[in-house]
Copies of this chain bind each other. A is one copy, B any other.
């Protein structure tokens, strides 16, 4: 038995739902903290924590001495770069699918060993696939999963959300990730996968995912199609 409902998560969810359902426009002022306390029957700190979460996820912004306001500008044609997990992210809403080329068990080379903090004899799942959506190619992914933490994987699973599987079935708790990215000119082979020409531009993203316990379990490299993918990040500098 895990995941008891935390009050601040519950409150955050309800406030967000309320904003969406009522279709509140950007800049709309919400109830003040005192009212929220009474409305949800929780302590001030709990409300503050809920609001903190909503603020960091870009739903609201708080202005000291003034109020709490709706932020909310969702560009549906842009991918949320912070919430992309390996590949699955927002696109789950779309009608997309994967074409899976490989799901193999391999021995990691030095580069993979270093990033996954494992030994040469440890088994690693190698997944190679392409993400489609609405008939468009979004990107080409090569991923390495530590078998120690992800004991089983096959083509069928890789045709859906691997992360959902990893979390729900393997019981892996995803904690944090390091994301490195840069722009490249495509080589002939990768261009072929993306249905683009050699030397066409692309965004190359390499990411290492860690469990909440700090163990790396997935090294992922995604090359995104430059015409079919746009990204956004809502950041908070306060």
- For the complex, give the distance between the alpha carbons of A226 and B231 in Å: 17
Residues on A facing B (Cβ under 8 Å) = 27, 45, 56, 58, 61, 63-64, 66, 69, 71, 73, 75, 78, 81-82, 85, 174-185, 200-203, 210, 212-214, 224, 226, 229-238
A236 to nearest B CB, angstroms?
5
Q: Is the CB of A181 within 8 A of B231?
A: yes
A114 CB to closest chain B CB (Å) equals 12
Known: A69-B214, A214-B69, A226-B201. A179 touches B63 (CB 8 A): no
When distances are taken between beta carbons in the complex, the residues of chain B under 8 Å from A174 are 237-238
- Chain B: minimal CB distance from A44 (Å): 12
A183 close to B82 (CB less than 8 A): no
CA distance A202 to B182 in the complex (A): 9
Determine if A214 and B179 form an interchain contact, defined as CB atoms under 8 angstroms apart. Answer: no
CB distance from A235 to the nearest CB of B (A): 5
